Structure 1
Amino acid sequence: MANEVYNIVGEVASLSFGIMIIILMLFTRPRITFVYKLCSIGLFLAVIANAVNILIIKLAADFQKDDFVFLGFLMIIFMVIYFFVISLLFSYISFLSAYRRRSATAINIIIFIVAIIYCWFAVSKFINGEILVAKNGILELYIFEKFLILSSFVASFMSVVITIIDYDNLSKIVKKTVFFFFAVNLIILQLQYLFYPHIFISITYVLPFAMFYIVFHANPHDELMGSQDKSSFETMMRQDKVAGKNVLYMFIKVPRLTNFDFLGDNNFVYLHTARCTRKLENLGYGITIFNLGYGEFAIRFSNRYFIDTNKITGKVVEILKEFIEFEESNTIYRLVVMDAKKVNFDPYRARMLFLYILENKIEDDFSSMSYIIRASDYDAFEKEERILSVLRDISYERNLNDERVLCYAQPIFDVSTGEFRTAEALMRLELGGHVIGPRRFIGLAEKHGYIHTLTCIMLNKVCKEIKKLEDAGYDFDGVTLNCSSIEFSSKNMYKQLFKIIFDNKIQISHIRMELTESALFSNSSNVITNMKKLNEAGVIFYLDDFGTGYSNFERVREYPFNIIKFDKSLLYAAEKDDNMSNVMSTMVNMFKAEGCQTLVEGVENDYQNKVSLNNGFDFIQGYRYAVPEPIEALENYFKKD
């Protein structure tokens, strides 16, 4: 009967859609923000109001006098719920502004005043008998629906007004969504007025909540900042590549916002950051902002052809300066401007380039900086990326015989015997047919966690060559291998090294290891344990680059070092300054008194050699005696029994 008198297809469709969205809310992981509670409660009440409205329409279509009181009660319940629904909708839109969140009292006062007017209007309609009017066994709902249309229009209008008032404090996506919602609601309300008794008024309050949920809580948009998330950034870059767009990207890092994602979106820092993004959006140029997490943001400028890079960078810097001045005096920012084409629109490479610039172009860790990437920077980054690609591949394969890791060696002169009895193994890397030195890749390997694999490969290659020398009857003391302090800080690292040594079946005393002074300041307990285990088995340890760090004599004594290797910088200082030469001689004698032998590196000429001998060094290493060569050349320096 209801379908014959009143058409409720729109109401049923609205109810079904609302229930579906609620199910999505319950079984997915929406963005739980400050306004999410308003959205979820509003949608839940809207669905209840929708269901009650359908029940009212059905009872009205088949009206019985006995249902008069019950129907009146349902209408009152509906109107109460409906007011809460439109109030929540107004509150939700109001609190999409960071500014309004600090003036919630004003919003509550507005809602209270509107509630009084709403109740007075509703009660007057009931008292005048305009709401419950029965004709020919049917309850006429025309006045009731007109009341709902008017209420919905007022709520929509108020939402648009508050949006216009807070226009500069709202993100672009919020403004677009609110104005779209108002336009759609206006059309639906007009249609509802014209096509009564087709009833579909519920669409005007179920659809907005559903739409806000989909736009701001079920997808990557941040309703307050107007930013999108990391996945959107990656998608946007790939779309730019496919479309062949010429766009400009800026990357910003604010270290103080590292824990930004855990502050909560009503935190003062979050609200202030949102105001900053408003100003950035207002610059125009087709700006899109992405929150990459942990204090990192990306800004995309789509209108690259109309942008003066230096000028727009200056404007962004001005906004960032306002931000940090308002925030705290010790807050700093890092701004890097890049051409996405140079990294082939690859999101991963773009971020790696950003981090590369931060590491290599920052001169002051305590000051803000902005940097526009130059052509030379892209070239340097590409070279580093190629090295990292090889290191990554070597680490993943973990082949101890990897041919890309080259083992060189530099013989060391023994002053007491006048012979070469030891040598230092030196790592090189083959890259595209070229051999590159350790300065270009050791730091990268340590930073990215690839150094241990390289050490294991080098140890295996050194052991294999030692095995050949042993089998051929050569008389030598050993070959030293440089090890990273990072590795020796790992618990039980010695076991992995033992396995490689024992698998090659060599005399363990022929293996020697060098550690830099930084090892003395790492996890000392693990470092000492690893060193003692290896030393007790026969491995001799060198303290490498002594004099370049902050260690002192007493600190060195705590570790089982057998040979102290003086850095060449001390030799060069002693070469020019007699006082420094005396200091070096004193240190040499002190170490010898403790039972250690001493070695000096970097000896390139006769005078440096003379200074080294006069200062009492036991071993001398440098181009004056031998240059680094492939490790197989050691047979030219060692003697046979």
Structure 2
Amino acid sequence: MPHFGMHIGLRYDIIGEYASLLLAILLLVFMSLTKPKKSKSYKFLVLGVLTAIVATATQIMIVEVASNVSVYYNRSTFTALLTFFLVLYAAILVLIFNYINLMSEKRLKKRSVIIMLYVSIALFYFSGVVYQVAMKSLYFVRTDGIDITHFTTFYCMMGMLCAVICFIVVMIRRRTIARIVIRGVLIVVPLDIIVLILQIIDKKAIFSASTYVIPLVAFYLLFHSNPYDEDTGCQNVSAMESRFITDIRRNRFFYLAYIDFPQLTDTSFSPDYEMLSIEMARVCREIERISRKIQLYRISFGTYMALIETKERSDAQNYSEQMRDILDAFHDRTEDHFHYFLGVCGDSRRFSSVGNKWTQLFMMYIKETKHIDGENVYYFANGSDFRDFDEIYKIEQTLLDVRMKMDAEDERIICYAQPIYSVDKDEFRSAEALMRLHIDGKMIPPDMFIPIAERNNCIHALTVIMIHKVCKAVENLSMEYDFDAITINCSTADFTDKTFYKEILDIIHGYNIDQKMIRLELTESMMAENYEAVKHNMDMLNREGIHLYMDDFGTGYSNLERVVDVPVQTIKFDKSLLYKSIKDDRVDDIISYMIEFFKKNGFVTLIEGVEDESQKKYSIDRGFDYIQGYHYAKPGPIESLSKYFKHK
């Protein structure tokens, strides 16, 4: 037991406070080294650790004075020290309470409740402090030292009160708080209360700092410490994001190298993991030894990113080429000859505006466009790559926003339409609705944004919005013009949901139109994906009188038996068949046979892509019922159909 000041008299054992102070300082060092993600909860944790260090140091000073009253004691200074500690202790309690509150997935909507709780506790706490100071009852000066029993009892009682309130709030909000947080509270809060009770009972030892330092350490270890991969010696993506943001804020110019081993992400491939872990660690160490300016991070198994802190493109290229040499050597010496993709990019202005997420997406885009299976690829991105990806990224973000808002009137989704000519009636009787995406004054064609929408699960939102827009247009046009229907293209993703037909009918019934004036186009390839679900939706729509088209017939999936088996009424021949049949008599014979077959079985036939007089003549001669193409009309805003349909 250490002795402070006097060799006889009142003494306090504060080894626990010194241990807590050392632990808090070490925690602050670890936090600065690992650089966790700077989330709001993490900022509260940092403030909590800093306050804990000051509070513990203040507590040690208080005990030193209390144990050496003849040397250090001054009533005003000592009272100020006690008051300062009590303020710090209150701040620690508030920071810990706020931290736990931020762990909730759903923040408390009624902030007034939390504010009233804070105000009530603060009034109670500081009223007690003022009373204790005014009554001079926080401590008692004795000939052998200072008795601070009342002081420790007071703040320990306040600590227990706040611990109980925190526990109650967590239990009330347990449905919105992660299970690991609840378990932590269930363990830490009772232990804290026990330690605080022991502190009140024990008159000679001071160890209360452990009640707030240890929870702070637990919070860090559970929620913020970056996992260290002992095989490769790399930190994870959270550490990278922290370094990334720090460099941007300090205006440091840097490049990023994206290293990917495609074979390691292939689930069908089973490498020797023991050998591989040794080799990967060797590769990582060799890359880090190139320069201190290179920081390597593991994104996932088989994927790494290196942050190269340099302003000069020539230096970045030099470092990248050295990385390539290391990866080439790795490829050559491994039994499985792992091939790699190494992509490098650098443009701090873009990084600062869109962040690390944009960077990772960009590097994956570069990999997809430049990677060749079975070959090692090294690519240094240039300005045109940024511009191309910028457009794709902008489309992707727009589509995600469209999906989130699900606004039937979304002005970014433009409804175009192309009239369809009826050969028998010699007039336009219907039209095909065509989707366009409008971003920053530019019209994006479907072949550019539809694949992105399908990849990001946004296609359903686009379909729903298009149905709304077409129904509204039909409602307006049908008041003055005579026409049969407008068709809408549907995606595979929509029709594989067995309840999709209900959603379509609900939308149509929300407008003052005959539901038969809305028709749907499906492709043959859709039925190859999930035939039963697609056919179920088709059957249900057909019962309601919704006319169905088989789109793109003849593009490689043609199966006459399947086409006849589903309830489609119109067969829409792909334009490629038209172009081939004009040049090849054999294809012409097949087309003629299929038209005869379909008509004999009650189907309506339609040909698309007719662009000149010869193609028009061929289509009419072969007996197509409907013709669609630029020769008759180009696509335009759906409102322009009034130029093609007859007045009632």
Classify the TM-score, shorter chain. 0.5 to 0.7
Superposition pairs for residues 4-15 of structure 1, below 5 Å? none
Deviation track 1:394-425 (CA, whole Å, cap 9, x = no partner) reads 22111111122111111111112211111001
CA contact (8 A) 1:476 1:638 kept: yes
> Who is 2:283 aligned against?
276
Alpha-carbon contact 1:249-1:340 (below 8 Å) kept? no
**Aligned twin of 1:545:** 552
Residue in 2 aligned with 1:495?
502
> Partner residue of 1:234?
241
Among 591, 600, 622, which residue is 1:593 paired with?
600
The CA deviation string for residues 70-114 of structure 1, in whole angstroms up to 9 with x for no partner, is xxxxxxxxxxxxxxxxxxxxxxxxxxxxxxxxxxxxxxxxxxxxx
For residues 4-403 of structure 1, the aligned pairs below 5 Å read 218-258=225-265, 267-284=274-291, 286-305=293-312, 307-327=314-334, 329=336, 331-341=338-348, 343-345=350-352, 346-362=355-371, 364-403=372-411
Q: Is the 8 A contact 2:231 2:277 kept in 1?
A: no
In the alignment, the residues of structure 1 paired with residue 254 and residue 588 of structure 2 have an alpha-carbon distance, to the nearest angstrom, of 60
SS in 2 for 1:504: coil
Summarize deviations over 1:528-575 as a string: whole Å, max 9, x none. 111111121111111212222333223333332221212212212222
1:447 matched to 2:455: yes
Structure 2 CA distance, aligned partners of 1:594 and 1:21?
84
- Distance in 1 of aligned mates of 2:381 and 2:461: 33
- Secondary structure at the residue paired with 1:441? helix
With over 3 angstroms needed to count, the CA separation of the structure-2 counterparts of 1:360 and 1:551, relative to structure 1, is: farther
Once the 2 structures are TM-superposed, how far is the Cα of residue 307 of structure 1 from its aligned partner? 4.2
- Alignment of structure 1 residues 441-590 onto 2, 5 Å: 441-472=449-480, 474-590=481-597
Structure 1 residues 428-439: aligned runs within 5 Å: 428-439=436-447
Distance 2:458 2:339 in 1: 32
- Report the CA distance between 1:638 and its aligned residue: 1.9
Q: 1:551 to 1:10 in 2, by over 3 A?
A: farther
Percentage identity across aligned positions? 38
Q: Equivalents in 1 of 2:273, 2:448: separation in Å?
A: 46
Deviation at 1:220, TM superposition (A): 4.1
1:416 paired residue number:
424
After superposition, the Cα gap between the structure-2 partners of 1:10 and 1:254, relative to the gap in structure 1 and judged at 3 Å, is farther
Report how far residue 607 of structure 1 moved: 0.8
**What amino acid maps onto 1:457 in structure 2?**
I
Deviation by residue 1:485-515 (Cα, 9 ceiling, x = unmatched): 1211123111111111011132111111111
- 1:371 to partner: Cα distance: 1.8
CA shift in 2, pair 1:294/1:553, >3 Å? farther
Residue 240 of structure 1 aligns to a residue whose secondary structure is helix
The match for 1:407 among 408, 411, 415 is: 415
Q: CA deviation at 1:226?
A: 2.5
Match of 2:97 in 1: none
Kept in 2, the 8 Å contact 1:265–1:271? The answer is: no
C-alpha contact (below 8 Å) 2:226/2:239 kept by paired residues: no
Retained in 2: the 8 A contact 1:486–1:522?
Answer: no
Alignment correspondent of 2:630: 623
- In the alignment, does 2:615 pair up with 1:611? no
Distance (Å, rounded) in 1 between the aligned partners of 2:442 and 2:15: 73
Q: Which amino acid aligns with 2:414?
A: L
Check conservation: 2:330, 2:338, Cα contact below 8 A: no
Contact 1:412–1:421, Cα closer than 8 Å, also in 2: yes
Q: 1:424 is paired with a residue of what secondary structure?
A: strand
2:524, 2:373 → 1: CA distance? 24
Q: What do the CA deviations read for 1:100-155 (whole angstroms, capped 9, x no partner)?
A: xxxxxxxxxxxxxxxxxxxxxxxxxxxxxxxxxxxxxxxxxxxxxxxxxxxxxxxx
| Equivalent pair of 1:425/1:631 in contact (CA under 8 Å) | yes
The secondary structure found in structure 1 opposite 2:283 is helix
Counterpart for residue 119 of structure 1: none
CA contact 1:520–1:551 (8 Å) conserved in 2: no
Q: Distance in 2 between matches of 1:582 and 1:448?
A: 42
Residues of 2 paired with 1:255 and 1:372: CA distance?
18
Higher mean C-alpha displacement, 295-304 vs 491-500: 295-304
Q: For the residues of structure 2 that align with 1:2 and 1:237, how far apart are their CA atoms?
A: 47
Q: Deviations over 1:460-497 (max 9, x none)?
A: 1111111123333x332211001111211123111111
Cα–Cα, structure 1 residues 313 and 561, in superposed 2: closer, same or farther, change >3 Å?
farther
Q: Could you tell me which amino acid in structure 2 is paired with residue 393 of structure 1?
A: D
Following superposition, the deviation at residue 269 of structure 1 comes to 3.0
1:92 matched to which residue of 2?
A: none
Deviation at 1:219, TM superposition (A): 3.3
Distance 1:640 1:573 in 2: 38
Provide structure 1 residue ranges, at least 5 long, that are not aligned to the other structure: 25-29, 31-209
Hey, what's the Cα distance between the residues in 2 that align with 1:494 and 1:536? 11
Question: Which whole-Å CA distance do the structure 1 matches of 2:412 and 2:261 have between them?
Answer: 39
The match for 1:180 is: none
Quick check: which has more Rg, 1 or 2? 1
Counterpart CA distance in 2 for 1:2 and 1:396 is 64
SS in 2 for 1:250: strand
Report deviation, 1:326: 4.4
Which residue does the alignment assign to 1:85? none
Q: Do the aligned partners of residues 218 and 351 (structure 1) sit closer, same or farther apart at CA in structure 2, a change above 3 Å counting?
A: closer
Q: Is the 8 A contact 2:474 2:517 kept in 1?
A: yes
User: Partner of 1:636 in structure 2?
Assistant: 643
Residue matched to 1:88: none
- Contact 1:253–1:334 at 8 Å: present in 2 too? yes
Amino acid at match of 2:404: Y
Task: Tell me the distance in 1 between the aligned counterparts of 2:430 and 2:460.
Answer: 24
CA distance in 1, matches of 2:558, 2:373: 25
Distance change in 2, residues 1:518/1:367 (3 Å): farther
SS of equivalent residue, structure 1 residue 337:
strand
Equivalent position amino acid for 1:612 in 2:
S
Separation in structure 1 between the aligned mates of residue 266 and residue 444 of structure 2, nearest angstrom: 39
TM-score (norm 2): 0.63
Amino acid at match of 1:519: M
| C-alpha distance in 1 between matches for 2:558 and 2:388 | 34
Q: Deviations over 1:227-286 (max 9, x none)?
A: 1211111111111211211211111222333399xx999844333321221121122252
Per-residue deviation at 1:603? 0.6
Query: Which AA in structure 1 matches 2:362?
Result: L
The separation in 1 between residues aligned to 2:342 and 2:563, in whole angstroms, is 43
Supply the distance in 1 between the matched residues of 2:449 and 2:580 (Cα, whole angstroms).
Answer: 28
- Code of the aligned partner of 1:349: W
Residue 220 of structure 1 contacts residue 232 of structure 1 at CA under 8 Å; is this kept in 2? Answer: no
User: 1:577 deviation in Å?
Assistant: 2.2
**1:311 shift after superposition:** 4.0
Report the count of equivalent residues: 448
Partner of 1:125: none
Shift of 1:330: 7.0
